[in-house]
Structure 1
Amino acid sequence: MAEYTITLAKEKRSFRAADTETLLEALIRAQAAPDAPCGGRGTCGKCLVKIHSEKYDGVQKACQIHVDCDMEVDTSLKATGHSLLTEGIERDIPVMPMIQKTAVKMERCKVGESYSEWELLKMALERATGRKAEEFTASPAVISGIYAFMEEHDYGGEAVLCRNRVLALAEPGKRLYLAAFDIGTTSVVGYLLDGTGGKELCVASRLNPQSQFGADVIARSDYVLKAGNGDEMSRVIRRALDEMLGELAEKGEISRTDIWQVAIVGNTCMNHLFLNISPDSLVHAPYNPASRESIVLKASEVQLSIHPEGQVLMLPNIAGFVGADTVGCLLASDFDHREKMSLMIDIGTNGEMVLGNKDRMITCSTAAGPAFEGAK
């Protein structure tokens, strides 16, 4: 196997590529984010680059060029302008986030008693919440800091809870923040929210970087299955969300560590690709998802930098191509309380419909993107 040097003129950097790769594959590996809606089949003409080398000179499709010599590549032909919808009609709803703060007053261990600091904190939580002490859990890192925190704060403070899990001990009055993301097939939108009242504080958006592997869910699924794993696909979308978290924190003038939970929705394929779950079952009959349940993870497990004990909430999927984004639409439209027969339509690259009322709902999906893009 021979290797050659690819020099990116616009980015002013170079990298090595093997003669077993196409130029498109090399650019993806180099994180140059090429545009390839057709998944490298040579049909869309979007991966155009200008090449200067001993064998090639001029504009070429990156997916049709095999790396067989040193070359200088200009990627500036890629279209970069885009406008994303980030606002809509809202309705007031009661906000009940999974992340809650509870004031606690921990009693000191008396002479002759042998309670651990963790047992004393659980007893304080039982008094404060009415839940049984044995129901509470915490990581070793949180338990390790109980004694120092309580000594410094006269054995009082606030416990940050996610259901019955203690995420941290905090000084009274410390504000909590949440983030929410909608991973669309084409675009990604993120929101920073106040953790108490749910007020939207700022918004960030960008195109989904997975489009370099294909414009639609089928093309991306095929790419993952041919590659044998979804590492690249999950890496680019996780990095995009992490960068957007930094952008939201900067706009909101807070620290990343002030964000305690990130909620994520998307269609079923976007859900699987973010979590690096194989889409194999999605593209073979009967086209069922590998997982439909909601999932709670530590943010560090999916490379999102928020509070060290912060969590990621993946909302549940409904079916093979009807995902958590539709769940979000149903919640937003109060569908589960509707008496009259109603129709909810979510028009995106992957479009969904739900027909029904609070007693029964029927759903379906289709590729809506081509209808607006003029595809044949």
Structure 2
Amino acid sequence: MQKVRFKVKGKRSVELIASDNENLLEAARRAGVMIDSPCSGNATCGKCKVKIVAGKVKTTKSRHISDEEAAAGIVLSCNSTIIEDIEVEVPDLASSFVNEMQITDLSKNENKNISYVRKKMIKRGMTNASRLRSEVIQLPEPNIEDSLADEDRLKLYFRHELGYQDISMSLNLIRKLPDAFRFNNFKIEVVYLKRREVAEILDVKPANAEKTVLYGMALDIGTTSVSACLVDMNTNEIVTKISMGNAQVKYGADVINRMVYSEKPGGLENLRHAIVDETINNLIEKMVSALGIFPEDIYEVCAAGNTTMNHLLLGINPNYLRREPFIPAINDIPEMKCSEVGIKINPEGKIYLAPSVASYVGGDITAGVFAVPVWMREEFTMLVDLGTNGEIVFGNKDFLMTCACSAGPAFEGGEISCGTRAVPGAIEAVIINEGDLRPFYNTIGCVSPIGICGSGIIDLICEMKRTGIINGKGRMDRDLNNPRIRFDEYGIGQYFLYCKELDNGSRDVYITEIDIDSFIKAKGAVFSAIYTLMESLDMSIDVLENVYVAGGIGTNLVIENAIALGMLPDIPVEKYYYIGNSSMQGCYLALTLTEGKDQIREISKNMTYMELSIHPTYMDEFIAACFIPHTNMDLFPSLKN
């Protein structure tokens, strides 16, 4: 047995006893220490670097560790084993990614889309009110002639005065009735869900001078990031929005790695704990603390996540999702109490999870289609959601076709050497001067660069191609003599946007040929999915009238650059709209429109899924698209010259 001390740089220290030859990354996970490991310990990403400051480990040489780093005691934690007492210094990048809360407003595009869609839905007959209601009631006090039980007295009022045919409440609520009724002489406040002719009572309490402010939460459970907005259900106003990294990232950046990890002893429970306790409950705690309210004031959650996230949230084995014929345990999850899941709001509060369509098209997409909304349009419309998976939905009010491709986390900065999600310090826009190849960039929040987010990566690669730094295969020109272009000991090219040496920076921010190759594969997966879906319907790209781009790629996405890289179809840019987090917008609309949740369920039933992995032409189309912009320039007529 060996003693291991983890020192998270600038934060805290954690100690544990490790067994002989225990994997260092697994020991860190067991200790609750966050180490960035997008590949989940397969030694392919090179992100899980730590520094051994005392003692020794047994480690395997890796191309990700330079000779200088190795001499300084830096190792990959995933291919190092513990052989004696050690002290390990862990960079704080991973824990900062997960724990750094971002409290923001909705973006201009998100607000604009919500307002537009809401008006359109109300015009179509949807009710501009949530199902969550509150009534202050003065019940008649019992006497010798009127000896109704407390529960019967409340139900009688709901039937006769409010017109409900059926009333339901839990045993926990019935336990509250005697004291709540008599505290203020049978004047009470009742919080309930209106389900057509049924009232489902969620809370009963003595009436105060003012009615309770009821809160609901819209929640987008992404593979990389989790976002939530808290809604005043009396006014439908969004009172705060917050986001943070999904704590499951320590078990892998993508759903496949997390599925593999779930098969390890205790793996599924670790993943469930990471999303429920470390992420969602953490978000709730921060929001209610900032507003000076209590978790018990939140009565309803409308959530959306991909199919794997839904399985992991509920503690359901997800592994058959990745094995042919790719079958989920459940698509349409019944509404349930949040307490059943472990989400800490009002004990009687409900969670609605937007239904999935297939193993790789989840509730985040059905909620997104609701928010676009493809399902009510006459013209042919497409939703492209750029996340760890790329999901495509095409159709109109008559039909909806969908497919998904494995893009990997590159669009959100994952598995990119200096990639980051769209947080303050992320480079979100880049221009390269053609003469000296000097970069000019914007960072989110106008602070010093910490990395590059999705929109910045798109701009950067596009500019590198435009200025001749790279060719169509993403390889750097070996004849260029420029201090920002370097080649490591393995001959892998690097371009530096921000450099300690050249810019007097605090860190280096760069992109490598391996990063560019990862991005080309991601963009190739998206374009080939779009093309294959359209081709399967015998339709040309030209029929598209609206293309909505969603996801955490960054609000500064330049559509022209995405087209120039061959990621999106070459159609007029005025047909494109970047709308941000369509999943959370759909959840917000479902919270605040009475029929919203039923409509999302109807959308899921009407979507036809195409499995790309067994489509006969998809792999050929993918290979053809792994070039900038494409091997077939007829598909990009505006770029031919």
Aligned to 1:59: 74
Task: Tell me if the contact between 2:25 and 2:41 (Cα under 8 Å) persists in the aligned partners.
Answer: yes
SS of residue matched to 1:328: helix
Distance 1:332 1:147, change over 3 A: same
Within-5 A mapping of 1:256-295: 256-295=295-334
**What is the match of residue 270 of structure 2?**
232
More displaced, 336-345 or 320-329? 336-345
Report the equivalent of 2:48. 47
Contact persistence 2:388–2:410 (CA under 8 A): no
Return the alpha-carbon distance in structure 2 between the equivalents of residues 236 and 357 of structure 1: 38
1:228 and 1:77 mapped to 2: Cα distance? 26
Aligned twin of 1:167:
202
Q: Deviations over 1:258-283 (max 9, x none)?
A: 11122221111111111111112201
User: Could you tell which deviates more after superposition, 68-77 or 366-375?
Assistant: 366-375
Higher helix share: 2
What's the counterpart of residue 19 of structure 1?
20
Secondary structure of the residue aligned to 2:46 is coil
Distance between the aligned counterparts of 1:83 and 1:145, measured in 2?
36
Alignment of 1:102-113 (within 5 A): 102-112=135-145
Which position in structure 2 is the counterpart of 1:340?
379
Give 2:4's aligned residue.
6
Q: Distance in 1 between matches of 2:147 and 2:323?
A: 59
C-alpha offsets along residues 310-332 of structure 1, whole Å, 9 cap, x if unaligned? 22222211211111111211121
Q: Quick one: which of 113, 126, 136 aligns to 1:90? A: 113
What SS does the aligned partner of 2:81 have?
A: coil
Q: TM-score, normalised by structure 2?
A: 0.55
Q: Does residue 34 of the first structure (1) align with residue 65 of the second (2)?
A: no
Contact 1:103 1:128 in 2 (8 A): no
Q: 1:367/1:67 Cα in 2 relative to 1: closer, same or farther (>3 Å)?
A: same
> What is the alpha-carbon distance in structure 2 between the residues aligned to residue 144 and residue 370 of structure 1?
49
Which residue of the other structure, out of 242, 248, 264, is the alignment partner of 1:204? 242
Instruction: Give, in angstroms, the shift of residue 367 of structure 1.
Output: 2.0
Residue 50 of structure 2 contacts residue 75 of structure 2 at CA under 8 Å; is this kept in 1? yes
C-alpha distance in structure 1 between counterparts of 2:17 and 2:146, whole Å: 66
- SS of the residue aligned with 1:295? coil
The answer to whether the Cα contact below 8 Å between 1:233 and 1:273 also exists between their aligned partners in 2 is yes
Unpaired stretches in structure 2, ≥5 consecutive residues = 58-71, 119-126, 417-515, 522-641
Q: 2:556 matched to which residue of 1?
A: none
Opposite residue 4 of structure 2, the aligned amino acid is: I
1:317 aligned partner: 356
For the 8 Å contact 1:42–1:61, the answer to whether it is kept is: yes
User: Which residue of the other structure, out of 220, 226, 238, is the alignment partner of 2:258?
Assistant: 220
How much has 1:153 moved relative to structure 2?
Answer: 2.7
Structure 1: gaps of 5 or more residues? none
The RMSD of aligned alpha carbons is: 2.3
Equivalent position amino acid for 2:334 in 1: I
Task: Count matched residues.
Answer: 372
Deviations 1:10-52, CA, capped at 9 Å, x for gaps: 3223122223631111111211121110010111111111113
- Pairwise CA distance, 1:371: 5.7
Is 1:69 aligned to 2:88, yes or no?
no
**Which amino acid in structure 1 is aligned with residue 204 of structure 2?**
L
Contact 1:55 1:69 in 2 (8 A): yes
* C-alpha distance in structure 2 between counterparts of 1:184 and 1:37, whole Å: 15
In structure 2, the residue matched to 1:189 is 227
Q: Secondary structure at the match of 1:250?
A: helix
Summarize deviations over 1:110-138 as a string: whole Å, max 9, x none. 53555321111111111233122xx3221
2:375 and 2:395 in contact (8 A); partners too: no
Paired residues of 1:46 and 1:78 also in contact (CA < 8 A): no
Which one-letter code corresponds to 2:212 in the other structure? K
Partner of 2:132: 99
Please state how far the C-alpha of 1:287 moved relative to its aligned partner. 1.0
Following superposition, the deviation at residue 96 of structure 1 comes to: 3.4
Shift of 1:334: 2.7
Residues 256 and 307, structure 1, Cα contact 8 Å, conserved in 2: yes
Q: Which residue of 2 aligns with 1:151?
A: 182
Structure 1, residues 126-161: CA drift from partner, whole Å, max 9, x if none? 1233122xx322122211222222222332333111
**C-alpha distance in 1, partners of 2:315/2:295?**
24
TM-score normalised by length of structure 1:
0.91
